[in-house]
Structure 1
Amino acid sequence: MTVLRYTAFTTDPAGGNPAGVVLDAAGLSAAAMQEIAAEVGYSESAFLTQGVEGADGVVPIRYFSPQAEVPFCGHATVATAVAVAERVGAGEFTFSTPAGLVPVLVEQGPDGLRATLTSVEPYVDPVSDVTEVLDILGWQADELDPELPPYVAYAGARHLVLAAATRQRLADLDYDFDRLLAFMLERDLTTLQLVWRESPTVFHVRDPFPVGGVVEDPATGAAAAALGAYLRELGLVQPPVTLQLRQGDDLGRPSRIEVELRDSDNRVRVSGNALVMGPPGLD
């Protein structure tokens, strides 16, 4: 058993969000996968529980943060799909995640292999009161963008979307880790999707992830899909449209995430490159 180390949503090994990838986790218990994820220490590690082939072309996959299993992880899916394509060839793969079936198309591009995942069916729910979470973040109500109201958005995992009125507000992130962790556990949230809208199709995003034992994610594909569903549901963009998400800049790990909304279906497509970070470990 070997843990591969990839970084997703970047073409630079120093950027993106690192993920551990185990291509043959057959026989590993949930406890063993959790232990490996904790030792790797990345925000998530992905495990193919029946190996690369899978039954009938469907590849079962599970995701673990250093602290807990999560139902879906976008960056680890992109990383795993690229790792598989490097071994069996580019093409379309279907991952069976705890959240549902997620098709991923891997193609060769000018900057290397690029993966596009298609989310499970998304939904969004309005949020009536954000007083507590704003206090935890140290944000004021008048620092929110009134044109992007708070919602919980889901496209495989639940994320609370909060929009900052300025880039400076987004950049100045310093929150109470334990309080936010308790807040999120009570509401079954995976991350906060904190956003600032630069233009109608360009968004800067940050994702606190205390549920996974991580202060902040440098690239969050699941939250990107959820944000796409949110923007469409609220009529803030009009499909067909492609959005550019910029994440990780404030952490020194720039990440670029592409989100595509089609008018033919409600599912959200999230694209990005992935590449090896370094030699395998935990042999």
Structure 2
Amino acid sequence: MDIDVSETTRPNRAEPADQTEPATGVLRYSAFTDDPAGGNPAGVVLDASGLDDTEMLAVAASVGYSETAFVIAQDVAARRFTVRYFSPLAEVAFCGHATVALAVALAERLGPGEIVLDTPVGEVPVATRVTGDGAVLATLTSVPTRSRPATTGELDSALAALRWTHDDLDPALPPHVAFGGNDHLVLAATSRARLADLDYDFDGLAEVMRRHGWTTVHLVWRESPERFHARDPFPVGGVVEDPATGAAAAAFGGYLHALGLVTGPTTIRIRQGEDMGRPSDLLLTLTPETPRSRVAGRAVPIV
């Protein structure tokens, strides 16, 4: 049985929807927040079985968010869904915040529990449950993560585009390229002030990222071993910055594994989006026994 989206489609943002938007049921959620004015907005199309690549890209561009998730096949009885993700400019192999948004939308319609998403990078299980205040919490389990030191060429080209120097980097957290479904350059800033001052060359960084195949540059500052602040430039998706990046959080788990910082069950709280006025909270859970990251957050409809 397919999910009926005819009664669940919500208008785009607070203003009337663009009348040129394709006649497709697009839901809009903000992920990693319980406030529609915070978090990272994502589009969700619960039945995209009749759309081709060009049409899905057109919908994503019309919605205008950093990503929109499209369910292209489904087995509702088995709670299994095939998903693709599109930014306004191109398809993205995996997107964490759109996964959380989709999982919450499905839980609201099918009830909480386990679902499985078949994504371009592999199988991604997602657990949903209702919290004490009635909100839905979604926890995705990433594909196996990995991380390697960034090369000198990768680092120098990225720093030049960011307008950072080597002195802006925390020597205790070396630059890496980390994977949690797609690749992200991880750079740790020496201070919260350095992280807050983000003024980069949009076209220059986009070119560097396309050359190396990075989805975002994951900029972090370590407040404590259990709490990090993050920012994620996303020029390759046509977006200056992502307010919350679940895929980068999953990759960051691989980074922490590679540095030997996961010696037991570990919970990391990531605060993102604060400097752009859309505060977001991501919960990253790691264990030494598995290279998979668990990334949890809420999502709320944007009406």
> What is the TM-score with the length of structure 1 in the denominator?
0.96
Indicate the residue corresponding to 1:281 in structure 2: none
Indicate the residue corresponding to 2:225 in structure 1: 200
SS at match of 1:190: strand
Q: Superposed, which structure 2 residues align to 1:7-86 within 5 Å?
A: 7-51=30-74, 53=76, 56-86=78-108
**Pairwise CA distance, 1:263:** 3.0
**Pairwise CA distance, 1:90:** 0.3
SS at match of 1:11: coil
Indicate the residue corresponding to 2:28 in structure 1: 5
SS at match of 1:95: strand
Q: Superposed, which structure 2 residues align to 1:72-221 within 5 Å?
A: 72-111=94-133, 112-129=135-152, 130-221=155-246
Report if aligned partners of 1:247, 1:256 keep a CA contact under 8 Å in 2. yes
SS at match of 2:100: helix
Report if aligned partners of 2:146, 2:291 keep a CA contact under 8 Å in 1. no
Q: Superposed, which structure 2 residues align to 1:262-281 within 5 Å?
A: 262-278=287-303
**Pairwise CA distance, 1:128:** 2.3
**Pairwise CA distance, 1:131:** 1.5
Gaps spanning 5+ residues in structure 1: where? 279-283
1:227 to 252, 255, 263: 252
Report if aligned partners of 2:178, 2:185 keep a CA contact under 8 Å in 1. yes
Bigger mean CA deviation after superposition, 236-245 or 82-91: 236-245
Give distance in 2, aligned partners of 1:192 and 1:151.
10
Q: Which amino acid aligns with 1:47?
A: F
Report if aligned partners of 1:23, 1:52 keep a CA contact under 8 Å in 2. no
Question: Measured at CA, do residues 52 and 273 of structure 1 come closer, stay the same or move farther in structure 2, by a change above 3 Å?
Answer: farther
Give distance in 2, aligned partners of 1:18 and 1:114.
16
Give distance in 1, aligned partners of 2:185 and 2:43.
25
Q: Which amino acid aligns with 2:125?
A: P
SS at match of 2:73: coil
Give distance in 2, aligned partners of 1:43 and 1:172.
22
> What is the TM-score with the length of structure 2 in the denominator?
0.89
Give distance in 2, aligned partners of 1:181 and 1:199.
31
**Relative contact order higher in (CA < 8 Å, ≥ 6 apart):** 1
Gaps spanning 5+ residues in structure 2: where? 1-23
Instruction: Give deviations 1:6-43, integer Å, cap 9, x for gaps.
Output: 00000111110000000011110011000000000000
Matched, 1:254 2:294: no
Where does structure 1 differ by over 3 angstroms across 4 or more consecutive aligned residues? none
Q: Which amino acid aligns with 2:120?
A: P
SS at match of 2:218: strand
**Pairwise CA distance, 1:271:** 0.1
**Pairwise CA distance, 1:239:** 2.7
Instruction: Give deviations 1:116-169, integer Å, cap 9, x for gaps.
Output: 000001111211211221111111111100010000000101000000000000
Indicate the residue corresponding to 2:11 in structure 1: none
SS at match of 2:101: helix
SS at match of 1:49: strand
